[in-house]
A and B are shown apart, each in its own frame.
Chain A
Amino acid sequence: MATYQLTVNGKRREVTVDPSTPLLWVLREDLKMTGTKFGCGISACGACTVHVGGVATRSCIVPISHIGDRPIVTIEGISQDAVGRAVQDAWVEKDVVQCGYCQSGQIMSAVALLKDTPKPTDKNIEESMGGNLCRCGTYPRIREAIKTASAQITKGGA
């Protein structure tokens, strides 16, 4: 066991866990932040996506010992960010969610995309969101919501 000082959604948190524990389980089990979901456990579905040091990261396969002092942002904290807020608003406006299980990961990836590329093309969206699977097939609404959020961000609203 080892003790780690983490910055999660802007707050300092301390956890004492096995160094090999994936970040996902530290968030869910130790910090009780269950918005980030376990999907496949092998980084293939994107349900566990969070931001680590600003990079969309698959938390199910990154051991806590690899995080270092990089700040972590999860779905619980993404609304504090202007782009994150715009994406969540667009998600509500376009009624994207069906069962919802994958959606926290979808939103975290969409925010990463829009922070890098505020006006994404369809190809940008396909490539950047290509690792986030949705068994309900909400992909058309996800694309629509990303474009809505993009419009909101680029008109100066975020």
Chain B
Amino acid sequence: MRRIRVDLFLLAAFLVVLSCVLAARFAEASNPPTTAQGLAAWQQVYSVLTNPRCINCHTATDYPQQGDDRRRHVANVVRGAEGKGVPGLNCAGCHQETNADSTGVPGGHNWHLAPLSMRWQDINDRALSSGDVCRALTDRSKNNNLDGPGLLKHHEEEPLVKWAWNPGRRPDGTTRTLPPLTHEEFVAATRRWVEAGTPCPK
């Protein structure tokens, strides 16, 4: 009899804890992040977007950049009409479907420059301000008509975005530096920013 009472007590305690957790989750889900929380999340996103792994292909110029020092790409590579280089000098002429670690050439599916509408630098290769990048990113006339969930999906699934966290080795065999957040943290920050309504700094 005493054993049954103990079991019932434990069951009741478990149900109370479970209901508290569910209530907290529900409250969290039904209360989107505040604008301040969204702006804080955006700053995390911005720190990744302006990392060389990302911004080197979001140029305002006629050429991509490379390296952590964001120098002009070797071999006089130019943007081309579709951001994939030109016939004799196509991105795919060096950048294959995956990284080539033995030769130090990065690779990923459909290697190309971001369109000029998604430039995150000025023509002097200086990163745009947090607010300017945010406004460009959320302008559906510039961002391939992506809404908030579309942007989240892009950050979560686009192969070239994900490449930034698997950037392969340099020709000297060292590993390329990674963005300041993990991909999971980046996606989580994007989600908070989107749930807050994609607020942008002034």
A interface vs B, CB < 8 Å?
20, 22, 42-46, 49, 55-58, 60-63, 66, 109-110, 112-113, 115-117, 124, 127-132
Q: Contact check: which of B78, B87, B102, B107 meets A115 at CB < 8 Å?
A: B87
Structural contact, A43 and B89, CB atoms closer than 8 A = no
Structural contact, B94 and A58, CB atoms closer than 8 A = yes
Q: Contact check: which of A45, A66, A109 meets B98 at CB < 8 Å?
A: A66
Q: Contact check: which of B87, B88, B103 meets A62 at CB < 8 Å?
A: B103
Can you name the residue of chain A whose Cβ is closest to the Cβ of B62? A127
Contact A62/B100 with A109-B89, A128-B88 known, Cβ cut-off 8 Å: yes
Q: Is the interface of B mostly helix, strand, loop or mixed?
A: loop
Q: Is the interface of A mostly helix, strand, loop or mixed?
A: mixed
Q: How far is the CA of A22 from the CA of B75 in the complex (A)?
A: 19
**What does the 1/0 interface line of B95-131 toward A look like (CB < 8 Å)?**
0111010111101000000000000000000000000
Q: How far is the CB of B77 from chain A (nearest CB, A)?
A: 7
* Set of chain A residues within 8 Å of B96, measured between Cβ atoms: 62, 66
Contact A43/B74 with A57-B93, A61-B103, A62-B103 known, Cβ cut-off 8 Å: yes
Structural contact, B171 and A131, CB atoms closer than 8 A = no
> Can you offer 14 A-B residue contacts whose CB atoms are under 8 A?
A22-B102, A43-B74, A56-B90, A58-B93, A60-B103, A61-B94, A62-B96, A115-B87, A117-B87, A127-B78, A127-B80, A128-B86, A128-B88, A131-B88
Asked if B54 CB lies within 8 Å of chain A CBs, one says no
Can you name the residue of chain A whose Cβ is closest to the Cβ of B75? A131
Q: How far is the CA of A132 from the CA of B98 in the complex (A)?
A: 25
Structural contact, B87 and A61, CB atoms closer than 8 A = no
Give the residue among A43, A112, A113, A124 with the most B Cβ atoms within 10 A. A43
Can you name the residue of chain B whose Cβ is closest to the Cβ of A19? B102
Q: Contact check: which of B80, B88, B103, B171 meets A132 at CB < 8 Å?
A: B88
Q: How far is the CA of A14 from the CA of B136 in the complex (A)?
A: 51
Asked if B187 CB lies within 8 Å of chain A CBs, one says no
Structural contact, A112 and B87, CB atoms closer than 8 A = yes
Give the residue among A49, A56, A58, A113 with the most B Cβ atoms within 10 A. A56
* Set of chain B residues within 8 Å of A56, measured between Cβ atoms: 87-90, 93
Asked if B76 CB lies within 8 Å of chain A CBs, one says yes
Structural contact, B89 and A128, CB atoms closer than 8 A = yes
Q: How far is the CA of A117 from the CA of B88 in the complex (A)?
A: 11
**What does the 1/0 interface line of B140-161 toward A look like (CB < 8 Å)?**
0000000000000000000000
Structural contact, A63 and B86, CB atoms closer than 8 A = no
Can you name the residue of chain A whose Cβ is closest to the Cβ of B101? A20
Contact A112/B88 with A61-B100, A62-B103, A63-B100 known, Cβ cut-off 8 Å: yes
